[in-house]
Chains A and B, each alone.
Chain A
Amino acid sequence: MANKTIRLEILRYDPEKGSAPRFQNYEAPYHEEWVVLDAINYIKDQMDGTLAYRWSCRMGVCGSCGMMINGTPKLSCAAFLRDYYPNPIRVEPLANFPILRDLVIQLDDFMKKLVSIQPWIIRKEGEKPVKEGEYLQTPAQHARYKDFSMCINCMLCYAACPVYGLEPHFVGPAAIALAQRYNLDSRDEGRDIRQEVVSSHDGIWQCTFVGECSVVCPKHVDPAGAIQQAKLASTMDWYKSLLWPWGGK
């Protein structure tokens, strides 16, 4: 009785050789309950120890294992072999990022952009002393930004965004969604400061609302929604500062 197998066509790239990436085929075992990550781990352990890739939690919360699976950005721990079997599965590194080796991408650009929007609570007058107690927040206030806080920085949205692919300066979906997460947090006072980046030409205004970022997001963050809301809010601010230049925030 032959065990079932499934073919994985994996893009390989060796930076030491410098020649163009090329596909390599592997016949991995097929199991009903396996995900692509299981197959890749099997390949690494049993067939080809040179294969390089990132992974960690294997349950969709760490954001490490993002890859292009048949041309769609997915977490490899969330892509079930049974959804593709018996057809071969094409596995490539996340689009729109430089390849370091095999399936490992250089994510410095995203990290830089994430830091630029200052993803932490900003208090204008500094933190209040510990003895004054916690910052209180109602469930309703929490609900305002909760979805945007679910981002696991997996960068599938950057891989799906054609604008980011064409215009690498674009701040991008996840970074802007996270900026919104803090802007909408009732404990935060840093919206004006983040506007420098968010409302710049490379920020929200570069986005043409393709919407694919929200489609591929594994945590239903809806970065496209975050960006459109930011456009509306920034526009209202712009008109306010035009018509009432003397007004405070």
Chain B
Amino acid sequence: MKPYVRPISAGWWLKRSSYLLFLLRELSSVFVAGYVVLFLLMIRQLAQGPAEYEAFMAALRSPLAILFHIVALAFALLHTITWFNLTPKAMAVWRGEERLPAAMMIVPNYVGWVVVSGVIAWFVLRG
């Protein structure tokens, strides 16, 4: 007379689209980390001198490198969007009996993101 324990399949995350999205969201951290490592490499080559830096920048122009960055950007955007949409869940802000609607915390994040991105772009691009 024994209870039956059903095994969990290794592909559990393929069973629902929400599980798949969850896994992709988690894997986005791999591409984010991959990018910042390349960024560090770029700084290191910058420190080594003009020839080394130029060689690195030339390598970034290869199709494989550009493809990596396009994929990385897609994952980075997945991270940004899911991060902004989910952070309000961790913060319950109350005004009397009403809880601050999630949108009031989400929208400023997006606005701030656009502003910060603009500032960074300006900083890097100015002559």
A residues adjacent to B (C-beta < 8 A)? 13, 15-16, 18, 20-21, 71, 95-96, 98-100, 106, 139-140, 142-144, 162, 165-166, 208-212, 215, 222, 224-225, 228-229, 231-232
Contacts and interface: CB of A to CB of B under 8 A. Distances in A.
A166 B26 CA distance: 17
Nearest to B5: A98
Contact of B4 (A16, A99, A166): A99
A143 B89 contact: no
A140 B97 CA distance: 4
A53 to B, nearest CB: 15
B33 to A, nearest CB: 17
Contacts of A225: 89-90, 92
Given A95-B6, A139-B97, A225-B92, 12 more contacts: A15-B1, A142-B97, A143-B97, A162-B8, A165-B12, A208-B22, A208-B26, A209-B86, A215-B18, A225-B89, A225-B90, A232-B90
B94 A99 contact: no
A96 B15 CA distance: 14
A162 B1 CA distance: 27
Interface of B: 1-6, 8, 12-13, 15-16, 18-19, 22, 26, 86, 89-92, 94, 96-99
Residue from B4, B8, B15, B94 with most neighbouring chain A CB atoms (10 Å): B4
Nearest to A98: B3
A99 B3 contact: yes
Given A21-B4, A211-B86, A162 B92 contact: no
A212 B18 contact: yes
Given A71-B15, A99-B6, A16 B1 contact: yes
A98 B91 contact: no
A40 B12 CA distance: 28
Given A16-B1, A165-B8, A211 B18 contact: yes
A166 B10 CA distance: 10
Contacts of B6: 21, 95, 98-99
- 7 residue pairs, one from A and one from B, having the closest CB atoms: A98-B3, A228-B90, A143-B97, A99-B4, A225-B89, A15-B1, A210-B22
